[in-house]
A and B are shown apart, each in its own frame.
Chain A
Amino acid sequence: MKRSEWLFLVALLAALALVPLLASNLVINFLVTALIVALAALGWNILGGLGGQISFGHAAFFGTGAYVTELLQLRLGANAWAAAVAGIAAGALVGLAIGAAVFRARLRGSYFALVTLAFAEVLRILANALDVTGGASGLLLPLQPGAAHFQFDQRSVFAWIGIACVGAVLLLTRHMMNSRFGAHLAAVRENEDAARALGVDILATKLRAITLSAAITAAAGVFYVQYFLYLDANIGYGTWISIEALLAAIIGGVGTMAGPLIGALALHGLGELTRGFAGSITGIDLVIFGLLLVAAIAFAPAGIVGAWKRYVGGRRNA
């Protein structure tokens, strides 16, 4: 990671932190939603981008984080912050369990993608059917503004917490990429046989990656539920978050540090704009997402970050 990239990221986060001071609630709402998706995408990127294991089922972790946080507060009266920590831990555990099942069976590529999707769908159907998760009518967390309850009157506080979380995950990602674990993960992504020959424990490396990845995406779920207070099976375990997490990372730049954040902002920015222009057409933003994905794969397979690097590199060499 070059210093210029790092400076750019710090500047971007600082600029985002100023937004709540200047903008309307509508814009802050957009920012918080984008940050939640960015967080989920940063989690996805660790397994999918850095580790090359493309998951279609990160909703399994997002939903687990959200449900565990909400249920512990609703059913057991747990403190919101403790519930948040438990939600992240539960998401990590689900990641480890799915990883143990799938990676032990040596599933890779499209098989891995399909099986992760299946796990998320099973959880969605269960959450929709069971009483404890509120079934189809969902769960509402009572409004109790106050820092002790991880709820805030002002949306701007959520935005700042979101920015801090994204910043923390970016730091963690950078540290990881520069570590032995990061090197092992890159080796597993590039060539498993060569990695094994060099003493890399493929299974252990993948399990670490999916656990970390799941924990971060679960944190996005926790954040979602504390912000919106409402949760049902289609929100928590729905395919929307699986798709947005991977779209944001791919459109932003797979395996790059800034990619998931930039992708989430771009995706949601465009989604909001199209809803503004053509709000009467239901699902028009999904059409835009689809077109964006096709465009990204056709013209910028390395995402926005990759295309920008190529542009800057081209100008420098010219």
Chain B
Amino acid sequence: MSGGDAMLEVSNISRSFGGVRALGGLSLSVAQGSITGLIGPNGAGKTTMFGVISGFVAPDTGSVTYRGADITREPAHLRARRGIARTFQIVQPFAGLSVGENIAVGSYLRHAKPSEARARAEAVARRVGLGAMLDQPASALTVSGRKRLELARALATEPDLLLLDEVLAGLNPSEIRDILPVIHDIRASGVTILMIEHVMQAVMALCDDIFVMAQGRMIAEGKPDAVCRDPQVIEAYLGHGAAARMQEAGNA
């Protein structure tokens, strides 16, 4: 992927928390219109990276460029206005509000008029399969419902770049099957997606490009099938020497 058509360009980001170096100078880029995956074992720093991109974590060094503009120091709410939306790995519903009200907070970003914002929220709710739940309190939703609500709120801001932080985690296989077409449909509508995901079935099915992080570093990038065979990636997930053992097992 060349830099020319990159919508998002993250370069040389590092960030330490006390003595822990969570991000050690890493870069990634996301092409307009793509679905890009960000994978890696637990503790790799993926969510911190999302924080840097969405404005929740200030990096110590490096820069974030969105559509040619340097947004490294821009507050989160202004990035949302630019068209960058995110979901949270640990769902953050407005627990005291209804599902419809939750989503409307997102749609108010582009529609100041209450009737319009509510109509948009309703349309988004139907799109992610929450159409029947509009008047339910958000706290009454199941895990899968809450994940959908995260997605719906982010979508309601009408983003150009959508950051999905493990929207499939905690869902059972049939729920995952239900939600994959929704993500496909979002991309088809012209939204670029960067997703953190552990469910490899989904990553392989959805992503055009994949970046692999381990211990705060970018260890691989490329097309899904190539990344999966990368010895470094296998070792990061399965431990030192795993790639060699798999090779042997494969030859035997």
Contact = CB atoms under 8 A, between A and B. Distances in A.
B182 to A, nearest CB: 19
B105 A198 contact: yes
B104 interface: yes
A183 B101 contact: yes
Contact of B54 (A180, A189, A197, A201): A197
Contact of A199 (B56, B80, B114): B80
A191 interface: yes
A187 B97 CA distance: 8
Contacts of A178: 114
A312 interface: no
A131 interface: no
B104 A183 contact: yes
A178 B116 CA distance: 12
B147 to A, nearest CB: 14
Interface string B47-77: 0000000111000000000000000000111
B10 to A, nearest CB: 18
Contacts of B112: 180
Nearest to B76: A196
A198 B114 contact: no
Interface stretch (B20-28, B81-89, B187-195, B228-236): B81-89
B109 A198 contact: yes
Interface residues on A, range: 20 to 34
The CB with the most chain A CB atoms within 10 A, among B92, B94, B112, B157, is that of B94
Contacts of A189: 96
Contact of B94 (A191, A199, A201): A191
Contacts of B101: 183, 186
A196 B81 contact: no
B95 interface: yes
A124 interface: no
B105 A193 contact: no
B196 to A, nearest CB: 15
Given A197-B76, A199-B77, A199-B80, A180 B92 contact: no
A200 B55 CA distance: 13
Contacts of A199: 77, 80-81, 106, 109, 157
Contacts of A245: none
A202 interface: yes
B114 A194 contact: no
Contacts of A191: 92-95
Nearest to A205: B77
A195 interface: yes
B154 interface: yes
A156 B109 CA distance: 46
B117 A183 contact: yes
A184 B105 contact: yes
A180 B114 contact: yes
Contacts of A198: 77, 80, 85, 105-106, 109, 153-154, 156-157
Contacts of B85: 197-198
A195 B109 CA distance: 11
B106 A190 contact: no
A179 interface: yes
A183 B108 contact: yes
Contacts of B153: 194, 198
A178 B115 CA distance: 10
A199 B83 CA distance: 9
B77 A200 contact: yes
Contact of A202 (B77, B92, B114, B157): B77
Contacts of A190: 93-97
Contacts of B97: 186-187, 190
The CB with the most chain A CB atoms within 10 A, among B93, B94, B97, B105, is that of B105
A186 B54 CA distance: 22
Interface in A68-90: none
Nearest to A193: B92
Contacts of B156: 198
B49 to A, nearest CB: 15
Contacts of A194: 88, 92-94, 153
A187 B75 CA distance: 17
Given A180-B112, A183-B101, A197-B154, 15 more contacts: A183-B105, A187-B94, A191-B95, A194-B88, A194-B92, A194-B93, A194-B153, A197-B80, A197-B86, A198-B109, A198-B153, A199-B106, A199-B109, A201-B77, A202-B77
25 contacts: A183-B108, A186-B94, A186-B96, A186-B105, A187-B94, A190-B93, A194-B88, A194-B92, A194-B93, A194-B94, A194-B153, A195-B105, A196-B56, A197-B54, A197-B76, A197-B80, A197-B86, A197-B92, A198-B105, A198-B109, A198-B154, A199-B77, A199-B80, A199-B109, A199-B157
Pairs of residues from A and B, 7 with the lowest C-beta to C-beta distance, nearest first = A199-B80, A190-B94, A194-B92, A199-B109, A196-B76, A187-B105, A180-B108
Interface of B: 54-56, 75-77, 80-81, 85-86, 88, 92-97, 101, 104-106, 108-109, 112, 114, 117, 153-154, 156-157
Interface of A: 178-180, 183-184, 186-187, 189-191, 193-202
